[in-house]
Structure 1
Amino acid sequence: MNTKTTFQLTALAFACACAAQPTVVSAAENAVELEEVLVTATRRSQRVQDIPFNISAVSGSDLEDQQIIDAVDVLRSVSGVSVIDRGYRNSGMTNGIVIRGMNVDSGANGDVPLAAVPTVATYVDDTALYANFILKDIERVEVLRGPQGTLYGSGSLAGTVRYIMNKPSTTEFAGEVSANYGQTEGSDGNNLSIDGLVNIPLTDTLAVRMNAGKISNDGIVDYVNVYAVDATGDPVVSGDRLTSTPVYTQRKDADTVDIEYYRASVLFAPSDTFNAQLSIQHQEDEIGGRRQATRGADLVNGGNYGDYENGAIMEEPSSREVELAALEVEVDLGFATLTSSSSQTSHEGVGISDNSGVYAQNGWFQYYGSSPRPFAQAERFYDDAAFAQELRLVSNGDSVLDWTAGLYYTKQDGKLGQNSYLKGYDEYLFDLWGGYQILTEQDFKFRRNQNYEETAVFGELTYHVSDALHVTLGGRYFTNDLDVDAEVSVPIWGGAPGEASQSNSDDDVLLKANVAYDVDDNTLLYATISEGYRHGGANAVPTSGNYAENPDYFTFTSDRVVNYELGYKGSVDTMSYSASVYYTDWTDPQLNTATNNWGFFAVINGQSARTQGLELELSGSLSESLSYSAGYTYADAKLTDDVYKPAGNFYGNGVNYEKLVAEDGDTLPGTSKHVFNVSLAHNTYLNNGMQLTSVLSGYFQSDSLNSLGRTVESDPLYSVAAADIDGFQLWNFTSTLRADAWTVSAYVKNIGNEAGTTGKVTAAHMGSETSPSNNFYGNASNDYLSLPRTLGASVMYKF
């Protein structure tokens, strides 16, 4: 659907919702009350407009009004933030948040957690954790742009996203139950979800709050070239095992989504000076396949793949389980408030991937007899656990000096690996090799264990030079230790595994300086210089023996940024505004990639990059019943030096050459130069006491790149993973009617049914679009899809 048509439809829908209403009450009673969101980003409760750096906040009520339960949707409403949307299958394990263009990784990444930690830190209350929880019972979401290591225990390069949950209340018994039904374009099924919440004050000082829910969505994408398999998972053989071609079948609506989640918290508040909250949050995902569509020629069925068709030859389900337990204690000491946050997290998952395209593209099937039924299955898994303790002391009262001091410790243990299988090859090779029985169908085994510890002290000191001028200095000192060991083998050929281990330690100091000036009571001017850091590590790949890689892959160094920002924010009548310009120097950026010979997960360092841009936000009211918000981001993110992979024998002539990944001046991937978001909300109180709220929201991003790299396929010294991604726009509409205890909503998401692609796996990597290779006729290349047009309705009852 073209841009003009989409805009006309969305405008018409909103106009109809505003006009087709019963008689309303008086204008005074109907007036919009703009919600003022208080945030605790500086560890003090403040208005967004009073904080001297670039921060945005979205309230829980806004999420409810727009039927938002997913991080992608909420983050697309914030300037300076973009998201690589990999769907439920991959978004739970790989952080796709990009702030201010600070990303060098491919949009194709996502089947396992990446070795380099994300550039954006995410928090659930005071616990640093990326888990992509379903957003239910949320008080607000805060987005802080730029490095935040002097305010938070877990540092960050590009910014921090905080999900603040609702706390138990000791004053009111309350609860709610809700149900949702929807249908999505491309699916023959339905979307169903239920959710419940209860808050129980047990005494005047003790309260419990619990919520739980279940999501069950039928899939969208059809896997149209799946091999029929027997009970053991081997491809079905229709005749002679040496010559029979695959028996193909289809899996309709394969990318099913089944999620169960709950959260329980207990608050003990015996006085105004002490409170403690214990919380447990848990989520389990069962995903049937990828929300990805293959583009190009369908070599099995003829013609081209459809809008919601995937050419993989096997189903690709995944599952994961994540749990967070946290104890937060707050004590008012008079001169300052002491906060302790202790947390234990666990996150594990496993997924099946079709690796047949990779094998075919690289000619690997020929080493196993070139079966007419090529079938390379990869089982990838991860298992992470972490403990974190943060102590923070924040000064109280009005003084010429305000200060924050903190101590942070974390211990993280992570495992990931891959088991690859050539399914059906035991019988095929038995016949091909005259009765020789192979040891196993497992042709690749990889394990990596990582143990990380960090201790940090951090803080900020603000000197109020006058009522209008404020100067803040911040610092962070940290030390960390990392131990990594790995093992790799090719069980099908036997032999001893390759092993490697490595340790790495680092310590450093980060600084921050900020000057803020209150132009008047409603206007603030500020300037900030801040440093950010991301720890280095070890890839622990073998550097000798049968599985040897270039020793340059063994370790990678830390990367860091220096961020310069100038901002201006304030309010005029009913309008609030914020504007900022920034420039960020990025030294030694870490790039997640794979090694030359065996494709081990690895990180390399580039030389340098820089991002610069502009962020604008406006919000306010146009009338007594109509409010708005709008944001615009200009981001110019580029490399400032060439990026090379360590040397390898890419020509097969016994001579090692470095591979050019990208060149000085290349645009960083996953970043659009122009991003625009807008929302209009119409709020009406009807004469029967009911309230009708209608919200129209839109998001636009310009073209972007899928990855660093070049597409010079004739020369193996150049990367072949790069691809352009077209810009797109997404429009959503929600109308909600509230009557006493009942709330009924109807909604349309992605009105124009845009593909909304933000990442892709290219055919050059996962399968040819034009001709078969090694008897492989499928195609595992694909584009990640935004959720197609979805219509739905929900009902909620509060008690």
Structure 2
Amino acid sequence: MKTRSSNPATTRKPLVAAIALSLLCTGAPALAQEEGETTVLDTVLVTASKRSEDVRDVPAAISVIDEQQIENLNANQLSDYADYVPGLQVQNNGAPGLTSVSMRGIAALSSGTTVGTYIDEVPVGSSGLYQAATTLVLDYLPFDLDRIEVLRGPQGTLYGASTMGGLLKYVTREPDLGASAFRFGAGFNAVADGGNGWDVRFTGSVPLKQDRLGLAFGYARNDLAGYTDNAFDGSEDIDSGEQESARAALFYDGDKVDMRLSVISQSTAIDGRAGEAVDADTGGLVFGRRTDQYWVVPGFSKDIDLYSLTFDVDLGATSFVSASSWSKTDTFYAIDATIPFGGVADLLLGLPEPGASGVDYSLDLEKFTQEFRLVSTGDGPLTWMVGAFYTKEDAVQGQFVDLTQLDGSPLPAPFDQIAGVLADLSLPSDYTEVAVFANASWQFTDRFSLGAGVRQSNNDQEYVQDVSAGLLVPLGTTGGTSEEDVFTWSLSPQFQVNDDVMVYGRVATGYQPGGPNAAVVGLPASVDSSMLTSTELGMKASFADGRGLIDIAAYSIDWEDIQVATSVNGVGGLVNGGEATSEGIEMALAFRPNDAWRLGLNASWIRAELKSDFEPVVVPQAGFDVELVSGLGGDRMPYVPKISWSATAEYRFDVGQAWTGRVGGAWRHVGDRVAGTSDRQRVLVGGEVVDEVVTAPLDLRHYGALDLYAGVGNTTWDLRLFLNNATDEKGYSSIDTVESALTGAVAWLRAVPIQPRTVGLQFDYRF
């Protein structure tokens, strides 16, 4: 058996270690949940509009997850808290970082993502087509965050490309310029019928010059407990691994100039993927619960270093903001391709048994971004912002497919030279984007205002496909280029009905960049950007004298020129498909009836489906044509539940001696989903259909899970006990087919279960 993974002990990055060493050398609607607060809900500030505002005043659907909520849920990855945000869908593909994210039913059907990711002022991740952005969304370890802002709906005016579904924005903690503060925490957890995990974290803030200059820093490490066993060799908990993250931020608060210099480094290394084998006909388990079969263990690793520098200059009636960043991301993951390609050994080469095959993917990305903004700061009826944005991505994707004997040894001679390498290719690519944008809002009366925004973007892309060896793809070098101009806009009227109720409308557009295509007969040379227009009506209200908050939003989205991944003779590429619609209603409720109780309810209903059949890809053959269609009218969008909801409750009480206790629980429900769209293959002779095969997408059943926690703490100590998925409910986050690429025979389905029952204990000490 072969293991395709990186040893965590040898892949820990120098930057993580350096920051860690420096630490050792250094002495719902959002509800703030600090100790000793009053019954009235606190004001929560967000920067979704690139200026600090009360979240209740922003005419857009925004959810905020604060530090206390993250701790209560023991949330270490996106899938730990996604079910508590209405309209947010997260697809776990077996490891933290092997993650797909969509919002409001705008699920990516190609390699480009539809949800952007920001850390503070700067974007992370690729906007190009050749970095698998849709399945490799950054899963940031939330150990030193002030909050996570989830912006639902297209953000193309302010945030540009790849935010057509929405935006995830991680806001890190600022240093305290007045006093030193430190925090140390550690924890232990155990997974039912799985392994044990532990974590440790340390954060600090030191004023270097009183009220002027300060340093914030932190380090965290999670050793992740596995729970998937391998039926091939009996190995247990193969999906165990580790995450490390470190950050340092220097902040200067001047009379006229504020400056923030930040360094963030994160490393993830997972031995294998979570999963279990499911019988395609009966739905039963092939090898037992949380057991799969791998001849090649599919490892995963991701390292990211992010450097950013932000200036905010006070010019009087305006402020000038400059946000610069440079990041480097190195990703490796492997898949077991024994079932798809192992038949080459016996069926094509005549060997006595199939071989083992693995596909190694390496994706390296260097990204530079620069944004300038001029922002009004006056108190008049007009507020405005103008800006310019530039980004440059240099990326390389590598793919290596080998074939060995089942035990991992080379094929016997001479077959090791003939078929030992099935494919070896490199895909270097460049992505450059330049944009200018403007936003403004006019307060017509004390109650009514109108906001509008525009953005003009230009992106250039080029790529090269260099195939140096292999049987699966033609050898040689090909390439392509593309250039596009894209215009996006938004319009948002807002009306304050009274002191407690605000209603708003929002019409906004967003886009997913196109780009050059793989050089394959039957595929276009490039694909266009996909565009959408969203119309939204919403209400934000408070009730019960400020003890309750409710947000309601209804939306309708029209999506055109959808980018769709397809395959011709085993080689993948993209086409612009047809159109889709997504309609939905979201609700978020928070209520604090008294000082003791905190209640919450979040719900989402979505109907997202294709309006018509996608455009066919026609592949000429000798004497006939093959027509491929990757989606049919009426298909649901993948991994989008029609109904999802969650309910939370927490009770707080005095223990005595300045200690406060809390107990809480949450139930989350995710509805039925599908794992893709329909595939239709027709054989045409003289333009007439002589054969047709339609393959329906796989179904995923609904699931519900109960999360519980209890804690006690004071201003110095905090102790927490958590029990996630308390009843050990079975549910799947994603599912795929394991089938032969030569015969089409399905071996089994590979499903990724939700996190099993996990119990843990956490403590924190502040000093």
What's the TM-score, normalizing by structure 2?
A: 0.87
**Contact 1:578/1:617, CA 8 A, preserved across alignment:** yes
**Contact 2:311/2:322, CA 8 A, preserved across alignment:** yes
Matched, 1:749 2:727: no
Deviation at 1:35, TM superposition (A): 3.8
Pick aligned residue for 1:673 from 642, 655, 661: 642
Matched, 1:115 2:111: yes
Matched, 1:684 2:649: no
**Contact 1:153/1:458, CA 8 A, preserved across alignment:** no
| Paired position in structure 1 for 2:202 | 196
**Contact 2:404/2:411, CA 8 A, preserved across alignment:** no
**Contact 1:79/1:617, CA 8 A, preserved across alignment:** yes
Distance change (3 Å), C-alpha of 1:427 and 1:30: closer
Pick aligned residue for 1:86 from 93, 99, 106: 93
Deviation at 1:607, TM superposition (A): 1.1
Q: How many Å separate the matches in 2 of 1:563 and 1:47?
A: 23
**Contact 1:294/1:779, CA 8 A, preserved across alignment:** no
**Contact 1:184/1:190, CA 8 A, preserved across alignment:** yes
Q: How many Å separate the matches in 2 of 1:81 and 1:275?
A: 34
| Paired position in structure 2 for 1:100 | 104
The residue type paired with residue 241 of structure 2 is V
Of 303-312 and 511-520, the range deviating more from structure 2: 303-312
Distance change (3 Å), C-alpha of 1:365 and 1:318: farther
Correspondences of 1:519-530 after superposition (within 5 Å): 519-530=497-508
Correspondences of 1:257-406 after superposition (within 5 Å): 257-271=241-255, 273-296=256-279, 304-359=286-341, 365-406=346-387
Matched, 1:463 2:442: yes
Q: How many Å separate the matches in 1 of 2:412 and 2:64?
A: 63
Correspondences of 1:695-774 after superposition (within 5 Å): 695-710=664-679, 718=693, 720=695, 722-764=697-739
**Contact 1:410/1:455, CA 8 A, preserved across alignment:** yes
Q: CA RMSD for the aligned pairs?
A: 2.8
Deviation at 1:378, TM superposition (A): 1.3
Deviation at 1:766, TM superposition (A): 8.0
Q: How many Å separate the matches in 1 of 2:648 and 2:624?
A: 58
Deviation at 1:750, TM superposition (A): 1.0
Q: How many Å separate the matches in 2 of 1:56 and 1:341?
A: 24
**Contact 2:345/2:353, CA 8 A, preserved across alignment:** no
The residue type paired with residue 196 of structure 1 is F
**Contact 2:628/2:679, CA 8 A, preserved across alignment:** no
Distance change (3 Å), C-alpha of 1:77 and 1:450: same
Point out where structure 2 has 5 or more consecutive residues left out of the alignment: 1-34, 126-137, 684-689
Deviation at 1:65, TM superposition (A): 3.0
**Contact 1:181/1:794, CA 8 A, preserved across alignment:** yes
Residue deviations 1:199-228, cap 9 Å, x none? Answer: 111112221111112111232100111xxx
The residue type paired with residue 115 of structure 2 is V
Pick aligned residue for 1:502 from 468, 480, 483: 480
**Contact 1:186/1:221, CA 8 A, preserved across alignment:** no
| Paired position in structure 2 for 1:622 | 593
**Contact 1:324/1:343, CA 8 A, preserved across alignment:** yes
Residue deviations 1:355-398, cap 9 Å, x none? Answer: 011125x8675222244142112111111110000111221122
Q: How many Å separate the matches in 2 of 1:169 and 1:428?
A: 59
Of 289-298 and 135-144, the range deviating more from structure 2: 289-298
Secondary structure of the corresponding residue to residue 727 of structure 2: coil
Point out where structure 1 has 5 or more consecutive residues left out of the alignment: 1-27, 106-113, 226-248, 542-548
Deviation at 1:415, TM superposition (A): 1.4
**Contact 1:296/1:305, CA 8 A, preserved across alignment:** no
Residue deviations 1:315-358, cap 9 Å, x none? Answer: 22122211111111111212122211100111112122210111
| Paired position in structure 1 for 2:14 | none
Task: Indicate the structure with greater strand content.
Answer: 2
The residue type paired with residue 592 of structure 1 is A
Deviation at 1:278, TM superposition (A): 0.8
| Paired position in structure 1 for 2:16 | none
Answer 1 or 2: higher relative contact order, Cα 8 Å, separation at least 6.
1
Q: How many Å separate the matches in 2 of 1:255 and 1:92?
A: 13
| Paired position in structure 2 for 1:613 | 584
Deviation at 1:752, TM superposition (A): 2.3
Deviation at 1:648, TM superposition (A): 2.7
Deviation at 1:61, TM superposition (A): 2.4
Residue deviations 1:160-184, cap 9 Å, x none? Answer: 1111000112111011111110100
The residue type paired with residue 514 of structure 1 is S
Deviation at 1:293, TM superposition (A): 0.9
Correspondences of 1:432-451 after superposition (within 5 Å): 438=417, 441-451=420-430
Pick aligned residue for 1:533 from 511, 514, 522: 511
Residue deviations 1:101-151, cap 9 Å, x none? Answer: 01153xxxxxxxx632x1111111011114211011111111111111222
Deviation at 1:566, TM superposition (A): 0.9
Deviation at 1:197, TM superposition (A): 0.9
Of 54-63 and 708-717, the range deviating more from structure 2: 708-717
Distance change (3 Å), C-alpha of 1:254 and 1:608: same
**Contact 2:186/2:199, CA 8 A, preserved across alignment:** yes
The residue type paired with residue 712 of structure 2 is L
**Contact 1:485/1:540, CA 8 A, preserved across alignment:** no
Secondary structure of the corresponding residue to residue 568 of structure 1: strand
Q: What percentage of residue pairs aligned between the two structures are identical?
A: 24
The residue type paired with residue 266 of structure 1 is L
Secondary structure of the corresponding residue to residue 298 of structure 2: coil
Q: How many Å separate the matches in 2 of 1:43 and 1:496?
A: 48
Count of aligned residue pairs for this structure pair: 710
The residue type paired with residue 606 of structure 1 is G
Q: How many Å separate the matches in 2 of 1:288 and 1:437?
A: 27
The residue type paired with residue 253 of structure 1 is D
Secondary structure of the corresponding residue to residue 294 of structure 1: strand
Residue deviations 1:403-450, cap 9 Å, x none? Answer: 11111000011211211111249988646xxx6772561121122111
Q: How many Å separate the matches in 1 of 2:612 and 2:463?
A: 29
Pick aligned residue for 1:583 from 539, 552, 556: 556
| Paired position in structure 2 for 1:214 | 221
Of 67-76 and 316-325, the range deviating more from structure 2: 67-76
**Contact 1:149/1:458, CA 8 A, preserved across alignment:** no
Secondary structure of the corresponding residue to residue 250 of structure 1: coil
Deviation at 1:767, TM superposition (A): 11
The residue type paired with residue 745 of structure 1 is R
Secondary structure of the corresponding residue to residue 69 of structure 2: helix
Q: How many Å separate the matches in 1 of 2:280 and 2:584?
A: 40
Of 398-407 and 72-81, the range deviating more from structure 2: 72-81
Pick aligned residue for 2:569 from 562, 578, 597: 597
Deviation at 1:77, TM superposition (A): 1.4
Deviation at 1:29, TM superposition (A): 7.2
| Paired position in structure 2 for 1:180 | 187
Secondary structure of the corresponding residue to residue 92 of structure 2: coil
Distance change (3 Å), C-alpha of 1:397 and 1:683: farther
The residue type paired with residue 506 of structure 2 is T
Matched, 1:516 2:516: no
Correspondences of 1:644-663 after superposition (within 5 Å): 644-648=615-619, 654-663=623-632
**Contact 1:559/1:588, CA 8 A, preserved across alignment:** yes
Deviation at 1:313, TM superposition (A): 1.9
Of 367-376 and 350-359, the range deviating more from structure 2: 367-376
Secondary structure of the corresponding residue to residue 523 of structure 2: helix
